Structure formats: structure tokens, C-alpha cells
């Protein structure tokens, strides 16, 4: 799970796995129109960073969209402004995002709605990677803050 990727951040600047090689990363996938899972996780992630205190400087939390058609860098930036500013948002072309979804073994599926719009089903776990990019585990959706922070502390300590 993991590997090379090439995406853009919310300023449209190119980001690859090498950009993140200075610290461990907690990465999760979703989309800005998500009604529940993503906003909940993003909100909780801000709480993890707060609870980590200074150790949060040694960790990166990354939110990757599975819906790049709607989640442009501008849309990502606007959406993420409601959450902790330390959370990094990434998007890309459909092909770039599909590559990441595949390499990171993420489940993501477009689901049409009755009104002609669509939503995205997607996996909800936060994936943890050490600074070498090696997968070390997950934080599950709505796991307790105590557990989540303990896992992140171990991730930071081990890197």
C-alpha cells in the first residue's frame, strides 16, 4: 500500500511522495461534497493535531480527493478553510487520482443520485505511513481520540 504519486495541492503546486519524505503522513481519501464521513474525519483530525501539541509539527495530515472533477484546487482550498489549516489537501487529474486510489488500495465509487447529481462511496480509514512512505496501520472512522492520538504518537516516535 502506497508508493509514488503525482498530484497538486490547493495552490495547484505539484506534490509527489518525495514532498512528504521529511515526516510521517496520515492520509485519507474523500471528497468535499461528502455529507458526513469526510467532514467528521477532518474535524477529528484537527483535534488530533491539537492533542499532539508540539509533536504535530512532526506529522503531516493529508486529505486526497476521490472526486477531482468537482474538487479543483480552488474548491479544496475553500472547503478545507473550515478545518485545521495544517491539513494538506491534494487533487489532480482523473488519471492521477485513479493511480493513487489503485496504489493505495482505496475503495471509491461514483454513485448517481435521483436528481442527476452524484455522490461518492469511499473508504473511510485514515492510513498511516512512516517518513519512508511505508504503510504502518490505520485509524478507523470515528475511532476514539485517545486511540487515534496514541497511534499518531507512535508513528511520530518511530520515524
Phi, psi angle pair for 111, to nearest 5° = -125, 115
The residue (of 38 and 59) whose beta carbon lies closer to Ni ion is 38
* Near Ni ion by CB under 5 A: residue from 8, 37, 87, 156: 37
The residue (of 79 and 131) whose beta carbon lies closer to Ni ion is 79
DSSP state string for 60-120: EEEEEES-TTT--HHHHHHHHTTS-TTPEEEB--HHHHHHHHHHTT--EEEEE-TTS-EEE
Site for Ni ion, residues 55 to 114, rule: CB under 5 A: none
Chain Cα centroid distance, residue 27: 4
The grid cell for 119 is 455522490
CA–CA gap between residue 97 and residue 90 (Å, rounded): 9
The residue (of 119 and 159) whose beta carbon lies closer to Ni ion is 119
* Near Ni ion by CB under 5 A: residue from 15, 26, 27, 34: 34
* Near Ni ion by CB under 5 A: residue from 2, 8, 29, 30: 30
Site for Ni ion, residues 38 to 57, rule: CB under 5 A: 38
Can you give the binding site for Ni ion, defined by CB under 5 A?
Answer: 30, 34, 37-38
Amino acid at each position: 500500500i502506497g508508493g509514488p504519486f503525482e498530484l497538486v495541492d490547493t495552490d495547484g503546486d505539484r506534490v509527489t511522495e518525495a514532498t512528504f519524505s521529511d515526516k510521517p503522513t496520515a492520509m485519507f481519501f474523500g471528497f468535499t461534497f461528502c455529507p458526513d464521513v469526510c467532514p467528521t474525519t477532518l474535524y477529528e483530525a484537527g483535534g488530533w493535531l491539537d492533542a499532539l501539541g508540539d509533536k504535530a509539527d512532526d506529522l503531516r495530515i493529508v486529505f486526497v480527493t476521490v472526486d477531482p472533477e468537482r474538487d479543483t484546487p480552488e474548491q479544496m482550498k475553500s472547503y478545507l478553510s473550515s478545518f485545521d489549516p495544517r491539513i494538506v489537501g491534494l487533487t489532480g487529474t482523473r488519471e492521477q487520482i485513479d493511480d493513487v486510489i489503485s496504489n493505495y488500495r482505496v475503495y471509491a465509487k461514483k454513485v448517481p443520485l435521483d436528481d442527476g447529481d452524484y455522490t461518492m462511496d469511499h473508504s473511510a480509514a485514515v492510513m498511516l505511513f512512516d517518513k519512508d512512505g511505508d504503510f504502518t496501520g490505520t485509524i478507523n472512522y470515528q475511532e476514539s481520540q485517545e486511540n487515534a492520538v496514541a497511534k499518531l504518537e507512535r508513528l511520530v516516535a518511530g520515524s
